[in-house]
Amino acid sequence: MLLAVVLVVSGALVAGAAWGIYGKLPNRVEGFLVALAGGALLLSVTSELIEPSIAKSSVFHAMLGVGAGAIVFAVADYLIDERWGPNRGGGLLAAITLDGIPENLALGVALIGAGGMEVAALAGSILLSNLPEAAGGARAMTADGRSKGTVMLLWIGTAALLALAAIVGNLALAGVGEGTLAVIRCFAAGAVVASLATEVFPRAFREDRHWAGIATALGVILAFSLGSLAGG
């Protein structure tokens, strides 16, 4: 199951990049989809990572993990902006790689001891998030003057790196105690939440300011519905 989930989720990056390079979608529609995915991912990390971790550890340790993940992401995001700039293609690629590592690490950790349906909401939310994010990043990179073939190869490499993060997260942490694993899950969740606040929701608002809030709410409803089907 691990390999199948990782391939589907990481493959969404490649599909999104192809969409950004060769396809065309109105900015408002893209912004709506970004907000939808962001809302789904926000609820998923809360219900599938943070909430179960509190039950396995404690509120204090869980919140410590969430805060640490957010701080690490914010510092790394700042360094990327200083090095490449927030709006250039290279910066977008580095930023999305940074976004994707905690997401895929969280996915790999969530798969430890979980059934297929229990991971569906988180995996589906990451997949939805990967599509428009990769499309926007690939489009910006081609606008910077890179060839379409080079951009596609870069995104294939990014997808492979993020797939590796999920596999490492699953295999390396399989024998870790429940308390420690709970803190690691919260660390990944904190990094994902920080990425939503700094990268995903601002972009959705810029491109579709009137409908971004509704799309976010619909994403929450979608993730909640998937979680309910899984019995969560």
In tens, the pLDDT along 141-181 reads: 888 788 889 889 888 988 888 888 788 777 877 778 888 88
Average pLDDT of the chain to the nearest whole number: 81
Note whether 11 and 192 are within 8 A (CB): no
CA 136/CA 142 separation, integer angstroms: 10
Report pLDDT for 177: 83
* Cα separation values, 9 from 14, 58, 131, 169, 211, Å: 10, 30, 9, 15, 26
CA 182/CA 57 separation, integer angstroms: 6
Average pLDDT over residues 4-14: 82
In tens, the pLDDT along 195-206 reads: 889 878 988 898
Report pLDDT for 67: 95
Can you point out the beta strands (E) in the chain? none
Residue 58 is classified by DSSP as: -
In tens, the pLDDT along 63-103 reads: 999 999 999 888 888 887 777 665 555 555 666 677 677 77
